[in-house]
Structure 1
């Protein structure tokens, strides 16, 4: 597999509301041990603290071997270690300020929402150096077009320098367990706080920027409605594939990869229940590309779960969905409501 084994994912991620969306793709009953990591309803906050965040990120000085004997401390540098197993998660300058997971991903989110938490998922990646918590509404929302989704607020941070602490609105598409752009017409609203001294979350500013979770339902439902009303014929779908995945003229690895990608997209479009119900519409095109990227595309240098989570936080999913609409708009030679 990749860096995050199935054993890790089953031990270091918690999945809630399975009665609404089923189990995660990596669920293996044989790897669950005495305590299951899946919950029919919301994940209790105390379970997240105990099972995932029950350790501290410690700042420790760094030493190197002195050629004259002994050790010499490296000036103005620090290592961030896990208190429970000594794992070195990152090395930084003295100006780096760790954001403890409980404080930033649970306590601050609670204050941001000004309500009780309903945690839908939480987890650790990269040996604990990256963490996320997703706060969700209790019930799925189903549009008249049959698209079932869950709005949520995604909070993530890191101890390895890969992420600023980020709070971001997003949508989970239940039929395929995909993260999708919260507002297909514009950049997903998010708040980022750097790991620097005196960094803090300004609640009023963050609430205004995020517009919080419940407003997502109407926005996303409207985007789905508009895209389902845009017809995409079989010929236009093929033109979209030509624009999205051009076929190289010369034989070789590039042409083989393009053929495989197009074959997989065609199967999703025509036969897969995650896409085929909306075949012939602009929404079906968005769904096909998003599903392919989440579940079918080859992943290098990272585990699929890690790649998908980081894309959700950094804006990669927003770029993916809006890029799909821009390409389709060019193929149809018309502006799309949700891409305008």
Structure 2
């Protein structure tokens, strides 16, 4: 489940091309007010700016409470002692510019520069939109701390193996220091809404810019990063064809599960017990069910593609998260920082070891 409320998801995210792709899982018309957040076609740039990016982040001075005399004290601490506020010139807090009581996104060094959502995610993306590329989704989450704009083709594509997908370009950044501003190509599996990053065939091209006054993003470099969406379809189709052509027997699938979710402690070599054993057995059962019965993997059962799909789907939608974690935000973070790429590659390498034992 997501920590974001349904009200937030229905007002602070915009979902496009619903006439072709359907509604988002969180769709609740009664929570959207007079303006629906779902669009039959592309999302207009003006709507993203007006509805989501209609505010700016600002850097404010940070003060530290220091001991003081009665003459220079600004206030008293909890124990009644005279203290004063002293500005720390090395630190700045990032807040909403026009909200005096709003959330403090983070406290950073004086070199930290907040990347304004309207400029870094919208204006840079706007330059590459045309008849074939449009805004498919956008959103602001975590009380404004994270935002994204997704550029995509209107129609989904289908490989000869029956895998339906769409290539995207994701532009995202944060104001709390958790992510650099990132422009990255991705692929969404239409059936399950999993995200892949062309992990097996090649590393998905991306551009990252730190929140520093020394780093700038020129239009040319942004455009070059975004234009790779045109090459994504062929690369992903080739990856799917490659994986579907690799046969996997039931015995090899069982061996893969043994290697992917071992029943022994890697540190001691002894068998797992108690809660750790139960967790491993549950994970194996979940993966096996996805591989054999779920529409996100089962149609390609008996191939390497089904194995990678089962692992990827489990990580996106099934695997238990740490207490208090948010799946929606966790998935976005893994998509941007390359964790899903690493997952797909590790799954493939593990399967290779089963198919071609040393």
Class of the TM-score when normalised by the shorter of the 2 chains:
over 0.9
CA distance 1:208–1:83, shift in 2 (3 Å)? closer
Matching residue of 1:288: 310
Residues of 1 paired with 2:199 and 2:88: CA distance? 46
How many pairs align? 334
Residues of 2 paired with 1:257 and 1:233: CA distance? 25
Matching residue of 2:213: 197
Distance apart, 1:118 and its partner CA: 0.8
User: Aligned runs of 1:181-330 on 2, under 5 Å?
Assistant: 181-208=197-224, 212-248=228-264, 249-300=271-322, 301-330=324-353
Matching residue of 1:95: 111
Q: Which structure: larger Rg?
A: 2
Residues of 2 paired with 1:253 and 1:218: CA distance? 44
Query: TM-score, normalised to structure 2's length?
Result: 0.88
User: Aligned runs of 1:110-121 on 2, under 5 Å?
Assistant: 110-111=126-127, 113=128, 115=130, 118-121=134-137
After superposition, the CA RMSD in angstroms is: 2.0
Farther off after superposition, 96-105 or 30-39: 30-39
1:62-84 CA deviation, whole Å, 9 max, x = no partner?
12334322122122211110135
1:169 equivalent among 175, 179, 185 = 185
SS of aligned partner of 1:90: strand
Matching residue of 2:61: 61
Query: TM-score, normalised to structure 1's length?
Result: 0.92
SS of aligned partner of 2:230: coil
Matching residue of 2:82: none
CA distance 1:334–1:19, shift in 2 (3 Å)? farther
Structure 2 gap segments, 5+ residues each? 75-84, 265-270
Matching residue of 1:72: 86
Matching residue of 2:159: 143
Q: Determine if contact 2:257/2:284 at 8 Å carries over to the other structure.
A: yes
Residues of 2 paired with 1:294 and 1:36: CA distance? 27
1:154-209 CA deviation, whole Å, 9 max, x = no partner?
11111111111110011011000111123522221111111111421244445556
SS of aligned partner of 1:79: strand
Residues of 1 paired with 2:30 and 2:299: CA distance? 34
1:199-235 CA deviation, whole Å, 9 max, x = no partner?
2124444555665211111111111111111111111
SS of aligned partner of 2:111: coil
Residues of 1 paired with 2:120 and 2:190: CA distance? 27
Residues of 1 paired with 2:9 and 2:20: CA distance? 21
Farther off after superposition, 35-44 or 234-243: 35-44
Q: Determine if contact 2:45/2:126 at 8 Å carries over to the other structure.
A: no
Matching residue of 2:97: 83
Residues of 1 paired with 2:277 and 2:30: CA distance? 41
Residues of 2 paired with 1:122 and 1:84: CA distance? 22
CA distance 1:147–1:164, shift in 2 (3 Å)? same
1:134 equivalent among 150, 162, 167 = 150
Matching residue of 2:356: 333
